[in-house]
Amino acid sequence: MTEDKKLYICHIRGKVKRDMNIYVGDYVKIKPLEDEKAIIEKIYPRKNALIRPFVSNMDNLIIVVAPVPKPDWLLVDKLIVSCYIENIRPTLCFHKADLISREEIKHLTKPYEGVIRLVQTSIKDKSIGLKELYEVMQGGLSCFTGQSAVGKSSIINEILGKEVMEVCDVSPKAQRGKNTTRHIEIFDWGGGRVTDTCGFSLLELEELPPQELTYYYDEYMKLMPECRFTDCVHINEPECAVKKAVEEGSLSKERYLRYISIYNELKEKQDEKY
Ligand SMILES: Nc1nc2c(ncn2[C@@H]2O[C@H](COP(=O)(O)OP(=O)(O)OP(=O)(O)O)[C@@H](O)[C@H]2O)c(=O)[nH]1
Ligand SMILES: [Mg+2]
Ligand SMILES: [Zn+2]
């Protein structure tokens, strides 16, 4: 799509493709041919990119969870870390908020309070949260991600006021979704651009030294000056302020246990390498 919003079906020059993978969201230089066709001649440097979802140049990543399917919080935590590594603003969107009470949602999202931006939304009960979501999405490119069947495509259709994306037609009673969305497309919604993506549940973090994981947990960084060791990773060290806060209940134990499991995953990767 050009700046004047003209659409071209593009092919990419072999040489360009060999040098660099092309992402959804890339800014490119094109050479128009006849019949709205064009050739991509160059991919401009990107400010960020993720492999899952396969999108670049994002401003917001909106991580969607819902009461059904059951939230995969490990996936959420990994996505938050990926955002911070790539300089993307994460937002946690608790969707299908019409299905459970406000108190239950508050309880479920408590570990993220004061950590990342939170919104609650529903398209069945439109009085819930859509306004806040639009505020989050102002300007730039917002990308929706999360497990299959949490309602990403339903939200995109609501934002655009028309059925641009196919939505899972059966109510997903089963815990796992059906992977209805199979392509990624960017739309203009008036306040910026937005893209739906394909649902997934497995995410391998990019290479990151395990001892650096703590830098991507704002709530741990705040306490770190109180840890006895300046390079504390909050696992086996004595006199650790993070562990103390977890024991006392002022930090979420679940999120801390997931932190340890991500740490171990990164450590294993590192050990494999050397
Ligand atoms: N109760 C309730 N159900 C919703 C809401 N939004 C979506 N759903 C239902 O959730 C199901 C899944 O919606 P989709 O929009 O297809 O989910 P998705 O996240 O795009 O799924 P994938 O494309 O497979 O990744 C559908 O049956 C929707 O009708 C909501 O606000 N409340
Ligand atoms: Mg979808
Ligand atoms: Zn510590």
Mark whether 56 and 139 lie in a shared domain: yes
* pLDDT, tens digit, 9 for 90 and up, residues 188-239: 999 999 999 999 999 999 889 999 999 999 999 999 999 999 999 999 999 9
Residue 205, in any domain of the structure: no
Mark whether 67 and 183 lie in a shared domain: yes
Ligand 1 pocket list (CB less than 6 A): 95-96, 98-99, 122-124, 148-154, 167-168, 171-172, 177-181, 198-199
* pLDDT, tens digit, 9 for 90 and up, residues 42-68: 999 999 999 999 999 999 999 999 999
Rounded Cα gap, residues 234 and 44, in angstroms: 40
Best residue among 154, 175, 176, 185 to mutate for probing ligand 1, ranked by most atoms within 8 Å of CB: 154
Full residue range of the structural domain in which residue 122 is found: 49-196
Ligand 1 atom nearest 95 alpha carbon? 31
From ligand 1's centre to the CA of 243, what distance in Å?
A: 38
Mark whether 143 and 13 lie in a shared domain: no
* Predicted pLDDT of residue 174: 57
Residue 2, in any domain of the structure: no
From ligand 3's centre to the CA of 226, what distance in Å?
A: 8
Residue 146, in any domain of the structure: yes
Domain count, the chain: 3
Residue 249, in any domain of the structure: yes
Mark whether 53 and 126 lie in a shared domain: yes
Residue 32, in any domain of the structure: yes
- Residue where a domain terminates, one of 196, 225, 258: 196
* Predicted pLDDT of residue 161: 96
Mark whether 146 and 75 lie in a shared domain: yes
Residue 115, in any domain of the structure: yes
Mark whether 39 and 123 lie in a shared domain: no
From ligand 3's centre to the CA of 234, what distance in Å?
A: 4
